[in-house]
Amino acid sequence: MIGRTEKTASPTVLFISENDHYRKEARKVIKESGILKQHPGFKTAHISRDPGWGGPLEQLGLCQETKGSIENPTGGPETPVFYEYSKRLHPTMTIYVRHGSSTRVATANAIRLHGHLFYLAPSHVFFDRLNNSQTSQVDDDFEIDSESESEYDDAAEASITSMGSQSTEALSDQDDLSDDELHSKTTLDSPQLTNIMASSPGPRRLSNSSLSKEQIAHPPREITTPPWASLRQLGVLFDWCVDQDWALVEVTMSPDSTISLYRLLCSPLSAAPIAVLPKDGARVITHTASGGQMTGSILGMPSYARLPRGKSFQEVFAVHLDGPLADGDCGSAIFGADTGELFGHIVAGCRSTGFAYVMAARHVFPKLAKSALRIKDMERRYGRCLIELDEDAAIERDDKDQEVFAVSGPRKYGPKPVGSQLSKVKE
């Protein structure tokens, strides 16, 4: 709902993108299709940046000092990942990645796939920070449908998000708010959720939702990076996806440590049911690197976001945590406090308000399972190689024995014919 007051506000489908051309084209396609005529009373609008978060959304696994990507120059995923050795191994851990002269921090969650141990972390912790010029063409205009199709600037809508959002489906094509409303301040039953509301399907009211409370700016929280001497290698980067911002870290610790990890792992990530759509305002729980256990609430309908470096829009949920966020909190898994369902992992958040985007687990986990199958394939290939080596060795041994047998004459306990030996190996 967008308008000067709640009484005069109208249901509005809001297209949000920092690229002026993209959002106007998307809005044009929807309007020309006529699909929104089936829903009288709705408007369409577009804006460059999210007006509702109360602060910028950031990928919280990056640091300003970083220069250059840390991908293996040979193309192989061999980047080492570390943990603080003085702390016990846990299903949820803070991980550290060396990046030039700085250290990246993220939250990682243990997961067992096809009998192998991994930690699931955000992929952006392994990449360089992109400049704003690389990700967007920023302008701050706000445009809503009118007869003249002219654009209107509204400084009140300049609250920033670096993530592009897109509505899940368009619902109307009724033009024209009044001229005085065109310059009005955006209002919603929940003022801080203007964009999330508009980028979700269907008209909905949030006044009874736990998300509709007053926006609170929390004092900043920082995480202290331990000295390198206190870190030990946990594993190596195995696979990643920038579109969905996930990375699998294969655990490569000593056998004793791995056994201990297996005992610790009644991993919630491996056992939790995967949520499809959360109940609006449902309570959630998570564990972050900066704040430990945190609670909050989740918006019931998804949005779609394209992350920096990403090439496609992905389904995300919006959550509001009851505390600030800091570097290292991306990767935190979000669970339903009452149901135990897994909604996904944090891929971006607002430091001051605790708002965050959560990548939908129901789209991520099938890809994780497929990725982990590579280990099974490698094991099978390795097993076949061992069998072939054993067969070659058997043939070589039999050939040598056959030569000895031919020189020395018949023996009572001579070797079996090569053919019978081969048939036995093949069985």
**For the chain, what are the domain ranges?**
12-57+136-208
Residue 266 has what pLDDT?
Answer: 58
Place 297 in a pLDDT band, splitting at 50, 70 and 90: very high
Residues 84, 194: Cα–Cα separation, whole Å: 40
Is the pLDDT confidence value at 304 over 90?
no
Q: In terms of Cα–Cα distance, which of 26, 50, 53 is closest to 165?
A: 50
pLDDT at 395: 47
Residue 293: predicted pLDDT: 92
What is the mean pLDDT of the segment spanning 416-426? 32
Structure tokens at 46: 């577009």
Distance CA 71, CA 5 (A): 51
Backbone φ, ψ for residue 315 (5° rounding)? -75, 130
Handedness of CA 84, 344, 61, 74 (dihedral sign): positive
Q: What is the pLDDT of residue 409?
A: 39
Helix axes 361-408, 418-426, angle to 10 degrees: 160
Measure the CA–CA gap between 110 and 38, rounded to whole angstroms.
Answer: 47
Supply the pLDDT for residue 310: 85
| Residue 97 DSSP SS3 | strand
For residue 320, the cross-strand partners are 297, 355
* 57 or 177: which leads in pLDDT: 57
Confidence of residue 253 (pLDDT cuts 50, 70, 90): confident
pLDDT confidence of 267, banded at 50, 70, 90?
low
Closest by alpha carbon to 194, among 7, 9, 19?
Answer: 9
Q: Which of 49-53, 145-149, 325-329, 368-372 comes out lowest in average pLDDT? A: 145-149
Q: What is the dihedral of CA 387, 390, 396, 398, to 10 degrees?
A: -100
- The model's pLDDT over 66-102, given as tens digits with 9 standing for 90+, comes to 444 444 444 434 589 999 988 878 888 899 998 777 7
Residue with tokens 């992929």: 123
Rounded to whole angstroms, how far apart are CA atoms 353 and 221? 11
Where residue 262 falls among pLDDT bands split at 50, 70, 90?
Answer: low
Average pLDDT, the chain: 67
Q: Name the pTM for this structure.
A: 0.62
pLDDT of residue 120: 94
Give the count of alpha carbons within 13 A of 291, CB side only: 23
Residue 272 in 3-state DSSP?
Answer: coil
With residues binned 3-state (H G I as helix, E B as strand, rest as coil), the percentages for the chain, rounded to 5, are 30, 25, 45
- The dihedral region occupied by 332, where left means phi > 0, alpha psi between -120 and 50, and beta the remainder, is beta
pLDDT-derived band at 342 (thresholds 50, 70, 90) equals very high
Which conformational region is residue 403 in: left (phi greater than 0), alpha (psi within -120 to 50 degrees), or beta?
alpha
In this predicted structure, the answer to whether residue 245 has a pLDDT above a threshold of 80 is: yes
Give the integer Cα–Cα distance in Å for 37 and 386.
67
How far apart are the C-alpha atoms of 245 and 240, rounded to whole Å?
Answer: 7
What are 151-208's pLDDT values in tens digits? Answer: 333 332 333 233 333 332 322 233 333 333 322 222 222 333 233 223 333 323 333 3
